[in-house]
């Protein structure tokens, strides 16, 4: 049995669906199973990462955990319960921001994910880390602006990312979760091409049949505005990560193909799959 944590948001949901399609036995953790909307056959159980007793019930009979954590959540209670329950392996959806071997991680996003990775290693469970950096779903942030105009206003037109389709993340995760030989390995997953934000908006327009324009904003006021409703160190880490990629093509690899046997989906395919979100 594979237990997926974070099963009702982007990456966990897609992974549960990919696993269910393979016929694997899948359980999904949710605080509100009645709203989960996951495929028939998936065992959706009520559980909360802050409630150890609920985790004990959810872990009964589980061999492997797919761990997708809301940012900032401490995984140690879950990992301790998992060891007690006889779970063998944890696969953690981590971040490409983590710098291996660094004395200090460069920002809070890297530090958080490096901390979870350390906790997974220290738990004694077999572990695998799937690291990604800029998922294509982050560009859903353009959708709100495109409701009433053809202009995306944001900082860093030249910030480059190898944006990855969440279904490729899910297919790669499913391959790792159902396959052998991944213990103690770190898989960096990327999309198939490095694209600047301006290029992403151009492709968005091409697929949607609209002439879209990227208008670059100064970053300072946008950081300030976003920090009013999101954690300021998190916002700064995100913006610093993007700033660091301006003028530097993003790393592209074939890990998705190596794991799934199929090349990673393009950004154009992602837009086509999300047409309704930009309607
Ligand atoms: N976006 C990026 O740029 C990026 C890049 C690299 C890595 N990642 C990784 O992806 C993660 C985000 O994934 P996401 O967007 O799919 O999820 P998310 O929106 O951050 O988290 C929501 C999920 O967490 C579950 N959850 C929240 N609090 C919980 C609790 N107390 N107990 C149990 N479950 C709880 C929710 O389940 P219920 O509501 O059903 O309980 C839901 O499935 C990040 O934290 C990061 O680790 C993201």
242/139 Cα distance (integer angstroms): 13
Mutate to test the pocket of ligand 1, among 6, 97, 113 (most ligand atoms within 8 A of CB): 6
* C-alpha 120 to ligand 1 mean position (Å): 17
Residue 119: predicted pLDDT: 98
> Which secondary structure element, helix H or strand E, spans residue 82, and what is its range?
helix 76-84
Cβ–Cβ under 8 Å, residues 80 and 123:
yes
3-state secondary structure of 206: helix
Distance 130 CA to ligand 1 centre (A): 15
Query: What is the per-residue pLDDT for 88?
Result: 97
Residue 210 C-alpha to ligand 1 middle, in angstroms?
A: 32
Taken in order of first residue, the domains within the chain and their CATH numbers are 1-131 (3.40.50.720), 133-165+190-279 (3.40.50.720)
Q: Which of 30, 33, 55, 70 to mutate to test the pocket of ligand 1 (most atoms within 8 A of CB)?
A: 70
DSSP secondary structure code for residue 135 in this structure: B
Q: pLDDT-derived band of residue 91, with 50, 70 and 90 as boundaries?
A: very high
- Rounded Cα gap, residues 95 and 238, in angstroms: 12
Which residues lie below 8 Å from residue 250, measured CB to CB, with a gap of 6+? 133, 134, 160, 161, 162, 190, 194, 195
Half-sphere CA count of 183, side-chain side, radius 13 A: 8
Closest residue to atom 33 of ligand 1, CA basis:
48
Whether 43 and 58 have beta carbons less than 8 Å apart is answered as: no
Task: Indicate whether 279 pLDDT > 90.
Answer: no
> In the chain, pLDDT over 90 holds for what percent of residues?
99
- Band (44; pLDDT cuts 50, 70, 90): very high
Angle formed at CA 24 by CA 18 and CA 27, multiple of 5 degrees: 85
What average pLDDT score do residues 40-66 get?
Answer: 96
- Does 27 score more than 90 pLDDT? yes
The whole-chain average pLDDT of the chain stands at 96
Q: Kindly list the protein residues whose Cβ atom lies closer than 6 A to any atom of ligand 1.
A: 6-12, 29-32, 48-50, 68-71, 93, 95, 132, 134-135, 138
37 band by pLDDT with thresholds 50, 70 and 90: very high
pLDDT per position as a tens digit, 251-273 = 999 999 999 999 999 999 999 99
How many CB atoms are closer than 10 A to CB 269?
Answer: 17
Residue whose CA is closest, atom 21 of ligand 1?
70
The closest-lying atom of ligand 1 relative to the alpha carbon of residue 137 is 1
- What integer pLDDT is reported at residue 38 of this predicted model? 95
Q: Whose CA is nearest to atom 18 of ligand 1?
A: 70
């Amino acid at each position: 049995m594979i237990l997926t944590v974070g099963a009702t948001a982007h990456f966990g949901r897609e992974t549960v669906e990919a696993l269910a399609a393979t016929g694997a036995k899948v359980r999904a953790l949710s605080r509100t199973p009645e709203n989960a909307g996951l495929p028939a056959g998936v065992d959706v159980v009520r559980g909360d990462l802050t409630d150890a007793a609920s985790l004990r019930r959810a872990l009964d009979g589980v061999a492997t955990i797919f761990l997708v954590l809301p940012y900032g959540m401490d995984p140690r209670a879950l990992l301790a319960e998992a060891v007690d329950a006889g779970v063998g392996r944890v696969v953690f959806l981590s971040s490409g921001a983590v710098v291996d071997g660094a004395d200090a991680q460069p920002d809070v996003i890297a530090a958080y994910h490096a901390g979870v990775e350390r906790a997974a290693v220290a738990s004694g469970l077999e572990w695998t880390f799937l690291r990604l950096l800029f998922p294509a779903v982050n560009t859903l942030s353009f959708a709100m602006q495109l409701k009433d105009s053809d202009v995306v206003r944001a900082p860093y037109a030249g910030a480059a990312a190898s944006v990855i389709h969440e279904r490729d993340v899910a297919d790669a995760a499913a391959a790792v979760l159902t396959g052998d030989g991944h213990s103690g390995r770190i898989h960096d997953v990327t999309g198939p091409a490095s694209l600047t934000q301006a290029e992403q908006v151009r492709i968005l327009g091409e697929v949607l049949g609209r002439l879209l324009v990227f208008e670059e904003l100064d970053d300072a006021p946008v950081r300030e505005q976003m920090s009013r409703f999101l954690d300021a160190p998190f916002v700064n880490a995100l913006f610093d990560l993007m700033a660091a990629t301006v003028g530097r093509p993003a790393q592209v690899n074939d890990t998705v193909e190596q794991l799934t046997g199929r090349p990673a989906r393009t950004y154009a395919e992602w837009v086509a799959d999300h047409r309704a979100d930009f309607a």
